[in-house]
Structure 1
Amino acid sequence: MSTSGQPQFRYTQTPSKVLHLRNLPWECIEEELIELCKPFGKIVNTKCNVGANRNQAFVEFADLNQAISMVSYYASSSEPAQVRGKTVYIQYSNRHEIVNNKSPGDVPGNVLLVTIEGVEVGDVSIDVIHLVFSAFGFVHKIATFEKAAGFQALIQFSDAETASAARNALNERSIPRYLLPEHVNSCHLRISYSAHTDLNIKFQSHRSRDYTNPYLPVNPTAIEGVVQPALGPDGKRKEAESNVLLASIENMQYAVTVDVLHTVFSAFGTVQKIAIFEKNGQTQALVQYPDVSIAAVAREALEGHCIYDGGYCLQ
């Protein structure tokens, strides 16, 4: 029995190769259903986000015994089936096939699921992915992650037509060789449609980007160029050169805003991103330039100086 008093299974139903899953996260996507079910057999069809709360789904196995195997496993397991930490209730469906639905990944949408084969994590940066897919239209958002299938990315366009053009051109193709590290011999793209329509990006980082929101916070631990300082020959801390500056703001008598910092730092070159955050009770900011040389000039000019009289200093 679950903590809510609901049994995870109903034993009175006739077995079917179609399983009915309940209590899913409301935004559960097709890829997550397949990930949960594929250890038990081949998935031939799914139907996501059904029910009044869009928290139910149907999954059709290729064979009845595969569906029985999944139900039997979780019926006897001490660990319930889960998606994103939520217990999923599984029962046989009263239908024996899912009709009027295309195979997983074939329903056109504005978000693509891209599996990048032949690479390790870190071989293909989010900037390279953005460059390749921007050839077909404005890319709104990108999220990258690792799954059992390998290194994957969700890429959001404004509409299904643009996403379809990108998929038709790039599916089963490779990222141009000159964009890849030397040790990567091939980089195969396998592209399908995602059930997502709008990705939830919380931070700009080397793993996720929202190109529609320049003021989205930058994750301080994930932004490119932020590394732990190395030690010099004398054993003292050696500052690593980077295109990202960390500014500590002291003697604050005025509100700190992204616009104020952008005005100050833009005097030395194009500012790509700014993030303001609190750390150990002190206000700090990350300022990203296109390259290390611009950042070095800005640091040399601004370090230890006040922005205006009685204002605050940048260390």
Structure 2
Amino acid sequence: MLKGKGQAFLEMASTEAAVSMVNYYTPATPHLHNRPVYIQYSNYKELKTENLHDQARPQAALQGVNAVQHGSLAITSALDGEGGHLPSQGSVLRIVVENVFYPITLEMLYQIFSKFGYVLKIVMFHKNNQFQALLQYADAMNAYCAKMSLDGHSIYTGCCTLRIDFSKLTTLKVKYNNDKSRDFTRVDLPFGDGQRTLDASLAATFATPNTVFPSYPGAAGFAQPLGFPQGAGISVPAAPGALGSLTITPSTVSGQIRGVAGIPGNSVLLVSNLNPEAITPYGLFILFGVYGNVHRVKIMFKKRGIALVQMADATQAQLAINHLNGQRLYGRVMHTTLSKYQTIQLPREGQEDKGLTKDYSNSPLHRFKNPGSKNCQNIFPPSATLHLSNIPPSVTVDDLKNLFASKGSTVKAFKFFQKDCKMGLIQLGSVEEAVHALIELHNHDFGENQHLRVSFSKSTI
């Protein structure tokens, strides 16, 4: 147990037991003493407790590891040289962003600052005509390392400069989980109108910090930094064995997907807890293809509930994790993380595969073949409302409603776009229904080479 952190490590007897436990508690959060307990995978393969005769030593060791994992080794080493005293300023940072040329989002701040530790809460606001944010870490060391590493740096070259100091607040109070504020320890908070709550896929993304990155050389067991494209922008000073550089470009943050050439980093996803009776390589290709160009898909021959999905690059892989981890698919909560594999091998000639491994690298259905296309700017989490396009003039509202109903969907509403009758919105009974419908009906052939295009919408009817 980590003293004073409200956190603990728990080693199960086997990987299977750990997977079973996480899968069981992901859709139904357990409570201890009326408080929710969040369970996620650790980067440690085992806990070492031998030869430790009291609790003080393991506490100190684990806290030391935590500091190295989330901060900069250079800063940690400096603190050690000064006697190892933890900073006393607190765990809440006040962030002022100067010269805001590109929009700043809550997700962007989370990605940048989570390099240094477990981000608990973020609140964004404008004050004195300045963009400001308050951000609370799990402990003061995380906040100290983030301030020392990021203060004065720019998110983009020449603009969006970070000015960071410690807030007088000891904790943040967050009432709503939305675009301006979020409590990452509470997935049950309303969106702000008293009805909506944070989308399940987004909640799953932020409720599991540092669980999707495999270990990397020089820091065994520690979380790998996000693989952002190299270029201008924030670069967290790297130290041997510590966190590498973090660089953000406008295309990364705005959701624009880079070309097929891609960026370095792992692009292969491990997808687990799938329904073996319903899942197909094509279904995963279509679903994950919403968030990037899928090159290959492999469903495990002996474990049909597990699959590998290879995206075009690491940015697309991370985007798919952000939106699909925790999403219900064919009655099960799907888990999506980075795989230890760097590529999916195609079966050798004569090798039994039963069509479970497919190569889609040259598929005409890739959504992001043209960098900067509208598809790159309209990437949203799974929602009950689908955006339809490429609808032929001869197809009516009833035709579309009947088409979706034939696939088991409950159609609640439909409307054509006023300015363009080739596009429309259709609202289904649930997010899961919409996911199934997108898999079934994206690229549906209306005849005469007219194919329906289906994507998730940010709007409702």
TM-score by length of 1: 0.38
Higher relative contact order (CA 8 A, sep 6+): 1
- When you count strand as a share of all residues, which structure comes out higher? 1
- TM-score normalised by structure 2 residue count: 0.28
Structure 1 or 2, whichever has the larger Rg, is: 1
